[in-house]
A and B are shown apart, each in its own frame.
Chain A
Amino acid sequence: MDKQTPLVELKNIELAFGGVKAVNDVSIDLYPGEVVGVLGHNGAGKSTLIKVLSGAYKADAGEIYVNGEKATINNPRDARSYNIETIYQTLALADNLDASSNLFLGREIVNKFGMVDDDSMEAETRKIMKRLNPNFANFKSPVSALSGGQRQSVAITRAVYFNARILIMDEPTAALGPQETEMVAELINQLKAEGIGIFLISHDIHDVMELCDRISVMKNGKLVGTENVADVTDDEILSMIILGKKPS
């Protein structure tokens, strides 16, 4: 796997909010068909780091490479043009709109007159939901009326629908029950098999050890280290998260 060109490389990324260095000289990478977990306490800088990749924030310093070529990502639109899709921790849903309007937000299907084609979008949404969450039935209500799990389904569907090559999942199972969590795990394995690279952000070690190939641990904005899951124990990762280093 190491011989391939990485799908994404983030090199020496730095980003400060006022005086706080939320991300401090962090480098991580991701290969096709690989799941890389990003672990760390709340406030470690995980969300901020991946928001640089998704175009939500612009880094103060550092570079991004996609397929070995330097990429310019200044806004979410740029990220989407590199087939980078993101499930945000906040889900980033417009609560007043229905599921299909959210799924296609910014990329609406239009008819030959340039008018938004709601019926086609709903039909597509029904199709993909049937595959990802067959229990999902409420296509008409604004998503504010949906349960946490259903809202998460909408956010996940949105990221998957548009042929992502690089998928960022920021705490995707935070609002989910055990059954839905299991479905997300299945989805991750399926996408992985299709050759998609996934960054899985979480603070649940168990999830991450199960699903990921490699794990990058962050603490106080800095990268503690990146390990192959096969080579480390839960305790070692835990120590990296808490103490900021591997036990010797």
Chain B
Amino acid sequence: MKKLMRNAVGAIGIDLRLLGMIGALVLLWIIFDLSTGGRFLTPRNLFNLSVQTASVAVMSTGMVFVIVTRHIDLSVGALLGFIAMVMGTLQLNILPEYLGFGHWSIWIITVVVGVLLGTLIGAFQGWVIGYLTVPAFIVTLGGLLIWRGAAWWVTQGQTVAPLDETFRMLGGGVVGTLGDQLSWAVGLAATIGAVVMMVLARRRKSSHGFKVKPLWAEYAMGGIVTALILGYVLVMNAYPLPKGAAKRYAEAQGIEYPADGLFISHGIAIPVIILLVVAIIMTIVAQKTRFGRYVFATGGNPDAAELSGINTRMLTVKVFALMGALTAIAAVIASARLGAVGNDLGVLDELRVIAAAVIGGTALSGGIGTIYGAIIGAVIMQSLQSGMAMVGVDAPLQSIVVGVVLVLAVFIDIIYRRRAGL
């Protein structure tokens, strides 16, 4: 029976590690749901969970590359705070002066400037690491102090609020969702996209005369993917807007608001869409581009990469620049969600991001890690935190549990690798 299971899993082509992570997550969810009397696995909580995960998850995809190349980035939380502060000031105090308050282009300019700033700062840190050979741990530890301090200087410590209306949609919330129809459209498009990719990959493999998976395995995989995507849409659509927001929505649409309320779906939150796009792009970069290949080669054996003609110093600059760009995107999500930028935005995020990547199977010794793993890692981290808060676990105990889970996850990973002979 065990062997049969293993063969079936092998044929579908999911590795055991992924299965283990999903299993752990499902177990966690069930435990929290049971101990909160069914409040955890509700559309409302799952919606909040996915929105809360987005910012850290976006950064964790970049952290995979950083850790795979045997580096670390401790500055992401502080950098997120600094970039958010600059973006907040830009959209509130600077741009309205030239464009007028509430101008449609404000959010676009803000995001572009933020991403450019993040890329530049990341590239600079990468340059110090790659070319001046100061260890990443030191450079980004310095960065942590520098950018947190710099964030304070931007506004002399004052909170920036309220952020631009359109910009705030990027953080989710009542207005920042797709609604039911658009959510279904996105879900269908994603499903079709995934299935088409699977069919093309199979054709390509058989055209080279390689062995392909049995057809039933392909169907099973396609079925699982479809069920996951459409199931997610279904759950998000099952979460209605609160009364006030539904009323405002009805007025805006010119619909009469009935006395017994109106069921308007949230649908998928925009930050989740951003995360989805980032995840797809980062996966393609990791698996299908030369840059991604060199990231993994360099992590596996820096000397071999160098001897193969790869410019590993420039590669370091690019990896950190990418990390900076993703930090900026995370800054957009985090600040837009709160509608304000305070001094503590992003505090301790570096640890959450690193933990997400590591729980997701990224090896600190370099060369190993996946984008989807890091994202699942981020979901596990956030589930732990939200779940414990919901159960009513004291804050100090929460951090103890998270710490224990982190160490345990890495320990299990080490055992798994030893067994698998990797």
A and B co-occur in one complex: yes
Interface residues of chain A, those whose CB is within 8 Å of chain B, are 54, 56, 75-77, 80, 86, 88, 90-97, 101-102, 105-108, 110, 114-116, 119-120, 122-123, 142, 144-145
Report whether A96 and B288 are in contact in the complex, using a CB–CB cutoff of 8 Å: no
Residues of A within 8 A of B204 (CB): 119
Residues of A within 8 A of B208 (CB): 119-120, 122-123
Report whether A105 and B297 are in contact in the complex, using a CB–CB cutoff of 8 Å: yes
Residues of A within 8 A of B297 (CB): 94, 96-97, 101, 105
Report whether A96 and B303 are in contact in the complex, using a CB–CB cutoff of 8 Å: no
Report whether B309 and A76 are in contact in the complex, using a CB–CB cutoff of 8 Å: yes
B251 within 8 A of A: no
Interface residues of chain B, those whose CB is within 8 Å of chain A, are 204-205, 208-210, 284, 287-290, 292-294, 296-301, 303-310, 367-368, 421-422
On whether A108 and B293 interact (CB within 8 A), knowing A80-B309, A94-B304, A96-B368, the answer reads yes
Q: Please, could you name 23 A-B residue pairs with CB atoms under 8 Å apart, sorted by A?
A: A76-B309, A86-B307, A92-B308, A93-B301, A93-B304, A94-B305, A94-B367, A95-B300, A95-B301, A95-B367, A96-B367, A97-B297, A97-B300, A105-B293, A105-B310, A106-B294, A108-B290, A108-B293, A116-B292, A123-B209, A142-B300, A145-B421, A145-B422
CB distance from A65 to the nearest CB of B (A): 22
Residues of B within 8 A of A105 (CB): 293, 297, 304-305, 308, 310
CB distance from A171 to the nearest CB of B (A): 15
Report whether A106 and B210 are in contact in the complex, using a CB–CB cutoff of 8 Å: no
On whether A94 and B301 interact (CB within 8 A), knowing A56-B307, A119-B205, the answer reads yes
Instruction: List the B residue with the shortest CB-CB distance to A115.
Output: B288
Report whether B306 and A76 are in contact in the complex, using a CB–CB cutoff of 8 Å: yes
Report whether A92 and B309 are in contact in the complex, using a CB–CB cutoff of 8 Å: no
Residues of B within 8 A of A97 (CB): 293, 296-297, 300
Report whether B296 and A96 are in contact in the complex, using a CB–CB cutoff of 8 Å: yes
Q: CA separation between A168 and B384, bound complex, in Å?
A: 55
CB distance from B407 to the nearest CB of A (A): 24
CB distance from A52 to the nearest CB of B (A): 13
Q: Which of B289, B298, B307 has the most CB of A within 10 A?
A: B307
CB distance from A180 to the nearest CB of B (A): 21
Report whether A116 and B290 are in contact in the complex, using a CB–CB cutoff of 8 Å: yes
Residues of A within 8 A of B292 (CB): 116
Q: CA separation between A116 and B299, bound complex, in Å?
A: 18
Residues of B within 8 A of A93 (CB): 301, 304
Residues of B within 8 A of A92 (CB): 301, 303-304, 307-308
On whether A106 and B289 interact (CB within 8 A), knowing A92-B304, A94-B296, the answer reads no
Q: CA separation between A115 and B288, bound complex, in Å?
A: 5
Q: Which of B297, B299, B422 has the most CB of A within 10 A?
A: B297
CB distance from A134 to the nearest CB of B (A): 17
Report whether A116 and B309 are in contact in the complex, using a CB–CB cutoff of 8 Å: no
Residues of A within 8 A of B303 (CB): 90, 92
Q: CA separation between A76 and B289, bound complex, in Å?
A: 21
Known contacts A94-B300, A119-B210, then 5 further A-B pairs from the complex at CB < 8 Å, ordered by chain A residue: A88-B307, A94-B297, A105-B308, A122-B208, A145-B422
Q: CA separation between A116 and B288, bound complex, in Å?
A: 5
Residues of B within 8 A of A115 (CB): 284, 288-289
Residues of B within 8 A of A119 (CB): 204-205, 208, 210
* Ranked 10 nearest A-B pairs via Cβ: A96-B300, A106-B308, A96-B367, A94-B300, A77-B309, A92-B304, A94-B297, A106-B309, A105-B308, A115-B288
CB distance from B225 to the nearest CB of A (A): 21
Report whether A144 and B422 are in contact in the complex, using a CB–CB cutoff of 8 Å: yes
Q: CA separation between A92 and B301, bound complex, in Å?
A: 8
Report whether A75 and B367 are in contact in the complex, using a CB–CB cutoff of 8 Å: no
Q: CA separation between A88 and B210, bound complex, in Å?
A: 31
Residues of B within 8 A of A144 (CB): 422
CB distance from A230 to the nearest CB of B (A): 35
CB distance from B61 to the nearest CB of A (A): 19
CB distance from B386 to the nearest CB of A (A): 34
Q: CA separation between A97 and B204, bound complex, in Å?
A: 21
Q: CA separation between A144 and B304, bound complex, in Å?
A: 13
Q: CA separation between A188 and B93, bound complex, in Å?
A: 72
On whether A110 and B290 interact (CB within 8 A), knowing A96-B299, A101-B297, A119-B208, the answer reads yes
